[in-house]
Protein backbone atom coordinates (compact mmCIF):
# COMPACT_ATOMS: atom_id res chain seq x y z
CA UNK A 1 0.00 0.00 0.00
CA UNK A 2 2.81 2.40 0.95
CA UNK A 3 4.59 1.68 -2.36
CA UNK A 4 1.38 2.31 -4.31
CA UNK A 5 0.85 5.66 -2.56
CA UNK A 6 4.44 6.69 -3.30
CA UNK A 7 4.06 5.71 -6.96
CA UNK A 8 0.77 7.66 -7.24
CA UNK A 9 2.35 10.74 -5.64
CA UNK A 10 5.31 10.60 -8.03
CA UNK A 11 2.98 10.40 -11.04
CA UNK A 12 0.94 13.41 -9.83
CA UNK A 13 4.06 15.52 -9.21
CA UNK A 14 5.48 14.64 -12.62
CA UNK A 15 2.23 15.60 -14.33
CA UNK A 16 2.15 18.95 -12.50
CA UNK A 17 5.76 19.78 -13.42
CA UNK A 18 5.24 18.84 -17.08
CA UNK A 19 2.03 20.84 -17.23
CA UNK A 20 3.69 23.94 -15.78
CA UNK A 21 6.55 23.71 -18.24
CA UNK A 22 4.25 23.27 -21.22
CA UNK A 23 1.94 26.04 -20.10
CA UNK A 24 4.90 28.40 -19.60
CA UNK A 25 6.37 27.88 -23.05
CA UNK A 26 3.31 28.59 -25.16
CA UNK A 27 2.51 32.08 -23.84
CA UNK A 28 6.22 32.97 -24.04
CA UNK A 29 6.42 32.06 -27.71
CA UNK A 30 3.11 33.71 -28.50
CA UNK A 31 4.07 36.84 -26.58
CA UNK A 32 7.43 37.07 -28.37
CA UNK A 33 5.85 36.84 -31.80
CA UNK A 34 3.20 39.39 -30.95
CA UNK A 35 5.77 41.77 -29.53
CA UNK A 36 7.97 41.46 -32.63
CA UNK A 37 5.06 42.10 -34.96
CA UNK A 38 3.93 45.09 -32.92
CA UNK A 39 7.44 46.54 -32.82
CA UNK A 40 7.81 46.11 -36.57
CA UNK A 41 4.51 47.84 -37.21
CA UNK A 42 5.42 50.67 -34.86
CA UNK A 43 8.83 51.08 -36.50
CA UNK A 44 7.22 51.24 -39.94
CA UNK A 45 4.69 53.79 -38.75
CA UNK A 46 7.40 55.92 -37.15
CA UNK A 47 9.55 55.79 -40.28
CA UNK A 48 6.63 56.75 -42.50
CA UNK A 49 5.60 59.55 -40.18
CA UNK A 50 9.13 60.94 -39.97
CA UNK A 51 9.97 60.80 -43.69
CA UNK A 52 9.85 63.87 -45.93
CA UNK A 53 9.79 63.54 -49.71
CA UNK A 54 12.49 65.32 -51.66
CA UNK A 55 10.67 67.43 -54.26
CA UNK A 56 13.47 66.75 -56.74
CA UNK A 57 13.20 62.97 -56.38
CA UNK A 58 9.53 62.26 -55.63
CA UNK A 59 7.67 60.26 -58.25
CA UNK A 60 4.57 61.54 -59.99
CA UNK A 61 2.51 59.17 -57.86
CA UNK A 62 4.15 60.53 -54.70
CA UNK A 63 3.25 64.08 -55.68
CA UNK A 64 -0.31 63.15 -56.57
CA UNK A 65 -0.70 61.53 -53.17
CA UNK A 66 0.09 64.86 -51.53
CA UNK A 67 -3.19 66.23 -52.82
CA UNK A 68 -1.55 68.64 -55.29
CA UNK A 69 -3.49 69.52 -58.42
CA UNK A 70 -2.55 67.71 -61.61
CA UNK A 71 -1.41 71.01 -63.12
CA UNK A 72 0.89 71.72 -60.19
CA UNK A 73 2.31 68.20 -60.26
CA UNK A 74 3.05 68.62 -63.97
CA UNK A 75 4.83 71.93 -63.28
CA UNK A 76 6.92 70.40 -60.50
CA UNK A 77 8.03 67.55 -62.78
CA UNK A 78 8.80 69.92 -65.64
CA UNK A 79 10.72 72.54 -63.66
CA UNK A 80 12.85 70.37 -61.41
CA UNK A 81 15.52 70.06 -60.30
CA UNK A 82 14.95 73.02 -58.00
CA UNK A 83 18.32 74.43 -57.03
CA UNK A 84 16.82 76.03 -53.93
CA UNK A 85 13.78 75.55 -51.74
CA UNK A 86 12.88 79.16 -52.57
CA UNK A 87 12.29 78.18 -56.21
CA UNK A 88 10.00 75.34 -55.17
CA UNK A 89 8.22 77.59 -52.67
CA UNK A 90 7.55 80.19 -55.36
CA UNK A 91 6.00 77.55 -57.60
CA UNK A 92 3.71 76.25 -54.84
CA UNK A 93 2.07 79.64 -54.45
CA UNK A 94 0.18 81.24 -51.59
CA UNK A 95 -3.04 79.25 -51.88
CA UNK A 96 -1.48 76.07 -50.42
CA UNK A 97 -1.22 75.22 -46.72
CA UNK A 98 2.58 75.29 -46.81
CA UNK A 99 3.08 74.41 -43.16
CA UNK A 100 1.25 71.14 -43.72
CA UNK A 101 2.66 70.49 -47.20
CA UNK A 102 6.26 71.02 -46.15
CA UNK A 103 5.91 68.37 -43.49
CA UNK A 104 5.59 65.97 -46.42
CA UNK A 105 7.76 67.39 -49.22
CA UNK A 106 10.71 69.79 -49.33
CA UNK A 107 13.93 70.76 -51.10
CA UNK A 108 16.71 70.53 -48.49
CA UNK A 109 18.50 73.74 -47.53
CA UNK A 110 22.26 74.25 -47.71
CA UNK A 111 23.14 74.83 -44.06
CA UNK A 112 26.06 77.11 -44.92
CA UNK A 113 24.37 79.48 -47.36
CA UNK A 114 20.64 79.65 -46.55
CA UNK A 115 19.35 82.92 -45.15
CA UNK A 116 18.26 82.70 -41.51
CA UNK A 117 14.73 83.80 -42.38
CA UNK A 118 14.39 81.00 -44.94
CA UNK A 119 15.09 78.31 -42.34
CA UNK A 120 11.72 79.21 -40.89
CA UNK A 121 10.08 77.52 -43.88
CA UNK A 122 10.96 74.26 -42.11
CA UNK A 123 7.87 73.20 -40.14
CA UNK A 124 8.40 73.72 -36.43
CA UNK A 125 11.41 76.00 -36.84
CA UNK A 126 10.87 79.44 -35.37
CA UNK A 127 13.07 82.47 -34.77
CA UNK A 128 15.23 80.90 -32.07
CA UNK A 129 16.01 77.65 -33.87
CA UNK A 130 16.59 79.41 -37.21
CA UNK A 131 19.16 81.53 -35.39
CA UNK A 132 20.85 78.42 -33.96
CA UNK A 133 21.03 76.85 -37.42
CA UNK A 134 22.99 79.90 -38.59
CA UNK A 135 24.99 80.36 -35.38
CA UNK A 136 27.31 77.39 -35.90
CA UNK A 137 28.39 78.10 -39.46
CA UNK A 138 30.38 77.01 -41.29
CA UNK A 139 29.34 73.39 -40.89
CA UNK A 140 31.95 70.91 -42.04
CA UNK A 141 29.83 67.78 -41.63
CA UNK A 142 26.34 66.63 -40.73
CA UNK A 143 27.83 65.24 -37.51
CA UNK A 144 28.64 68.80 -36.45
CA UNK A 145 25.03 69.80 -37.08
CA UNK A 146 23.79 66.89 -34.95
CA UNK A 147 26.16 67.78 -32.15
CA UNK A 148 25.41 71.51 -32.04
CA UNK A 149 21.65 71.41 -32.59
CA UNK A 150 21.42 68.42 -30.25
CA UNK A 151 22.15 70.87 -27.44
CA UNK A 152 18.65 72.29 -27.88
CA UNK A 153 16.42 69.41 -29.01
CA UNK A 154 16.34 65.64 -28.63
CA UNK A 155 17.71 63.10 -31.13
CA UNK A 156 14.33 62.51 -32.74
CA UNK A 157 13.90 66.19 -33.51
CA UNK A 158 17.45 66.50 -34.84
CA UNK A 159 16.74 63.53 -37.13
CA UNK A 160 13.58 65.29 -38.32
CA UNK A 161 15.54 68.44 -39.11
CA UNK A 162 17.94 66.40 -41.22
CA UNK A 163 15.15 65.85 -43.75
CA UNK A 164 15.34 69.57 -44.46
CA UNK A 165 19.05 70.39 -44.57
CA UNK A 166 22.39 69.23 -45.91
CA UNK A 167 26.07 70.09 -45.50
CA UNK A 168 28.02 70.40 -48.77
CA UNK A 169 31.02 68.06 -49.00
CA UNK A 170 34.56 68.68 -50.22
CA UNK A 171 34.96 66.23 -53.09
CA UNK A 172 38.51 65.10 -52.38
CA UNK A 173 38.38 64.74 -48.60
CA UNK A 174 34.80 64.01 -47.51
CA UNK A 175 34.17 60.71 -45.75
CA UNK A 176 31.84 58.14 -47.29
CA UNK A 177 29.47 58.71 -44.37
CA UNK A 178 29.23 62.44 -45.11
CA UNK A 179 28.70 61.80 -48.82
CA UNK A 180 25.88 59.34 -48.11
CA UNK A 181 24.26 61.93 -45.84
CA UNK A 182 23.60 64.09 -48.91
CA UNK A 183 19.98 64.07 -50.12
CA UNK A 184 19.31 61.16 -52.45
CA UNK A 185 22.91 59.88 -52.50
CA UNK A 186 23.16 56.18 -51.74
CA UNK A 187 25.94 53.60 -51.57
CA UNK A 188 26.54 53.32 -55.31
CA UNK A 189 26.75 57.04 -56.02
CA UNK A 190 28.89 57.65 -52.94
CA UNK A 191 31.30 55.05 -54.33
CA UNK A 192 31.41 56.85 -57.69
CA UNK A 193 32.09 60.17 -55.97
CA UNK A 194 35.15 58.60 -54.33
CA UNK A 195 36.19 56.52 -57.34
CA UNK A 196 37.45 59.47 -59.39
CA UNK A 197 39.51 61.22 -56.74
CA UNK A 198 41.44 63.43 -56.82
CA UNK A 199 39.26 65.90 -58.66
CA UNK A 200 41.11 68.85 -60.17
CA UNK A 201 38.00 70.88 -60.96
CA UNK A 202 34.22 70.59 -61.13
CA UNK A 203 34.37 69.96 -64.87
CA UNK A 204 35.99 66.62 -64.06
CA UNK A 205 33.16 65.89 -61.60
CA UNK A 206 30.57 66.66 -64.29
CA UNK A 207 32.35 64.48 -66.82
CA UNK A 208 32.79 61.44 -64.57
CA UNK A 209 29.49 61.48 -62.67
CA UNK A 210 27.70 62.38 -65.89
CA UNK A 211 28.43 58.82 -67.02
CA UNK A 212 25.86 57.56 -64.53
CA UNK A 213 23.11 60.20 -64.39
CA UNK A 214 21.33 62.58 -66.74
CA UNK A 215 21.93 66.32 -66.90
CA UNK A 216 19.16 67.21 -64.48
CA UNK A 217 20.38 64.81 -61.82
CA UNK A 218 23.96 65.95 -62.39
CA UNK A 219 22.88 69.55 -61.76
CA UNK A 220 21.15 68.44 -58.56
CA UNK A 221 24.24 66.56 -57.33
CA UNK A 222 26.62 69.39 -58.18
CA UNK A 223 24.75 71.56 -55.70
CA UNK A 224 26.08 69.36 -52.89
CA UNK A 225 29.81 69.47 -53.61
CA UNK A 226 32.75 71.85 -53.78
CA UNK A 227 36.53 71.78 -54.16
CA UNK A 228 39.03 73.56 -51.96
CA UNK A 229 40.89 76.26 -53.84
Q: Compute φ and ψ for 170, nearest 5 degrees.
A: -80, 120
Residue 149: inside a domain: no
Q: For residue 81, say if its preceding peptide bond is cis, omega within 30 degrees of 0.
A: yes
* 58 and 40 within one domain: no
Q: Is 194 helix (H, G, I), strand (E, B) or coil?
A: helix
Residue 151: inside a domain: no
Q: What is the pLDDT of residues 40-60, one digit of tens each?
A: 333 333 334 458 999 999 999
* 56 and 46 within one domain: no
Q: Which domain holds residue 12?
A: 1-50
Are the C-beta atoms of residues 117 and 85 closer than 8 Å to each other? Answer: no
If one counts the domains in the chain, the total is 2
Residue 130: inside a domain: no
- Residues with Cβ < 8 Å from 45, sequence gap 6 or more? none
Q: Measure the CA–CA gap between 88 and 58, rounded to whole angstroms.
A: 13
Residue 229's pLDDT is 79
Cβ count near 117 (within 10 Å):
10
Residue 226: inside a domain: no
Q: What is the pLDDT of residues 197-210, one digit of tens each?
A: 999 999 999 999 99
Residue 6: inside a domain: yes
Q: Measure the CA–CA gap between 94 and 193, rounded to whole angstroms.
A: 38
Amino acid sequence: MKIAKMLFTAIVISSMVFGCQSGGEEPSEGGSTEQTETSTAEDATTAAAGSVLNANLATEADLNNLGLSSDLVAQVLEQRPFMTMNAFDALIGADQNKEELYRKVFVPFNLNTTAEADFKMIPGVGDRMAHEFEEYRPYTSIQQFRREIGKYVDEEEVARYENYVFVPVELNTASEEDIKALPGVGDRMAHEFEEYRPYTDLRQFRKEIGKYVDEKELARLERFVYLKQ
